[in-house]
Amino acid sequence: MNFVWTRTAVILGSALLAGLIVWPLFGALWAIVTFGLGLAAALVFHLRNLHALLVWLRDPLKNTVPIGAGVWEHVFAALYRLVRSFALQRNRVTAQLARFRSAAQAMPIGVVVLDDEDRISWCNVTAERMFDLDARKDAGQPILNLVRQPAFAGYIKSRAYEEPLTLRISRVEALVLTVRIVQYGQDEKLLLARDITQAEKIETMRRDFVANVSHELKTPLTVVSGFLETFSEGNIRPDEPRGRQALEMMRSQTDRMQRLVEDLLMLSTLETSSMPARETQIDVETLLGGILEDARALSAGRHQVQLHVGEPAQLWGDEQEIRSAFANLVSNAIRYTPRGGRITLSWGRRGDEGVFSVEDTGIGIESRHLPRLTERFYRADTSRSRDTGGTGLGLAIVKHVLTRHQGRLEIESDLGRGSRFVALFPARRVNVTPLSRSHPELEKLTRS
């Protein structure tokens, strides 16, 4: 400020000094004229700078700060510093806002900012997808015009947002959302939506599973407890024929429960980890030889059971799991093939994949059941499955085992004619044995 006064004093002093120099030479009039001209020049100089300042002030953010001389140089320099620091601050705030927006965009939950009249101010891509919105076109639109669900409208209007709302949206694919509203500022709202479709599906599966297990256990338990009551009341004795029959039925029902528990434990082990625990080289011929033997024992001469090993091979995998999967397919073929039928087990190649197949001439399966056969407790023929001691979990186990070995299951069936279950393994799990080792027991078994 002192500086301004000093400058002003210097200008006035200079004009005065010029007047005083002129006075003795040209008289008082010329001295006054010189002094006046000095003042006028100073005025013009200031008016020009003032004009430049006014022009700049019309749009200070767009126009560049003028360059001045003298005192104006300092004024404009100060203004320039001010503008620069303002621009820097503005850039910083813009960058922060952009960062905040991109964070909100990246959030896996839907975010919609609503104004005091429930109009959309902003929303992220997740919210666009969930509510079928367009952030640009729908900005300023009341959300209730765009999300037209009575439950949603009721929730927004209720102004009671302590509890979240569960919203079901059925467009191309059904979507289940939990919607929460957080109020802030002057009746502005933040709508947060979380996709719980998958969690709901898992919860439904869990409920169905518990209901199925309870249902499976109920019948055998009712049979066993009924007979126990009859025994304890002394109505029948274990040593009489009726008693022996009852004991036999109790045994078969407890066997059934035991099989169910074993299969459930197996499934739970398979589901706990995604990788087989103990992988080794399995000699396919030896493994299938054992399975063929078990199959013939299970069939008890009611079927013709054959094995063809096209190419002796080593399979890399968990022996216990593979054995269980193959045995399940074979036991199904026996259980669903009437007396006199033929069951053929074979090992070979399809392209570079290893293939184990079980073909039967049994009752077959209607094609509508095929896609669901590997679901837990899904049965195409419920009464036959139960009568033959099925748990409804066999094919679920097979599918799990194959998936853990990067393999897959194919099912072909003709109702009334028979079925073919094919387990395929990727090439990297299969090694062809260079020299076929001879297994005397296998040869004996396959010949018989």
Contact residues toward ligand ADP (CB under 6 A) are: 328, 332-333, 336, 360, 362-363, 365, 373, 379-381, 385, 390-396, 419
Rounded to whole angstroms, the Cα distance separating 436 from 430 reads 15
Residues in the chain: 448
Judged by DSSP in three states, 437 sits in coil
DSSP secondary structure, 57-70, as one string: HHSTTTSPPPP--T
193 contacts 178 by C-beta, under 8 angstroms: yes
The least distance separating ligand ADP from the CB of residue 232, rounded to whole angstroms, comes to: 33
Closer to ligand ADP by CB, 181 or 380: give it: 380
- Across the chain, which distance is largest between two alpha carbons, in Å? 159
Bridge pairing between strands 304-309 and 342-350: parallel
The least distance separating ligand ADP from the CB of residue 363, rounded to whole angstroms, comes to: 5
Closer to ligand ADP by CB, 189 or 256: give it: 256
The least distance separating ligand ADP from the CB of residue 193, rounded to whole angstroms, comes to: 39
Closer to ligand ADP by CB, 176 or 264: give it: 264
The least distance separating ligand ADP from the CB of residue 411, rounded to whole angstroms, comes to: 8
Residue burial 171-209, b: 16+ Cβ < 10 Å; e: rest:
eeeebbbbbbbeeeeeeebebbbbbbeeebeeeeeeeee
Closer to ligand ADP by CB, 362 or 407: give it: 362
Structure tokens at 9: 């004093």
DSSP secondary structure, 333-374, as one string: HHHTS-TT-EEEEEEEEETTEEEEEEEE-SS---GGGGGGTT
Closer to ligand ADP by CB, 165 or 395: give it: 395
The least distance separating ligand ADP from the CB of residue 253, rounded to whole angstroms, comes to: 16
The least distance separating ligand ADP from the CB of residue 396, rounded to whole angstroms, comes to: 6
The least distance separating ligand ADP from the CB of residue 245, rounded to whole angstroms, comes to: 25
Closer to ligand ADP by CB, 189 or 296: give it: 296
Query: For residue 120, what is the enclosing H or E element?
Result: strand 120-123
Closer to ligand ADP by CB, 195 or 360: give it: 360
Burial of residue 64, with CB atoms counted within 10 A of its CB: 0-12 exposed, 13-18 middle, 19 or more buried: exposed
The least distance separating ligand ADP from the CB of residue 399, rounded to whole angstroms, comes to: 9
375 contacts 396 by C-beta, under 8 angstroms: yes
Judged by DSSP in three states, 42 sits in helix
User: Which residue reads 């096209």 in tokens?
Assistant: 310
Structure tokens at 96: 């922060």
DSSP structural state of residue 436: P
The least distance separating ligand ADP from the CB of residue 339, rounded to whole angstroms, comes to: 15
The least distance separating ligand ADP from the CB of residue 262, rounded to whole angstroms, comes to: 12
439 contacts 446 by C-beta, under 8 angstroms: no
Closer to ligand ADP by CB, 42 or 422: give it: 422
User: Which residue reads 């990067």 in tokens?
Assistant: 406
User: Which residue reads 């029959």 in tokens?
Assistant: 245
Closer to ligand ADP by CB, 129 or 218: give it: 218
Closer to ligand ADP by CB, 189 or 323: give it: 323
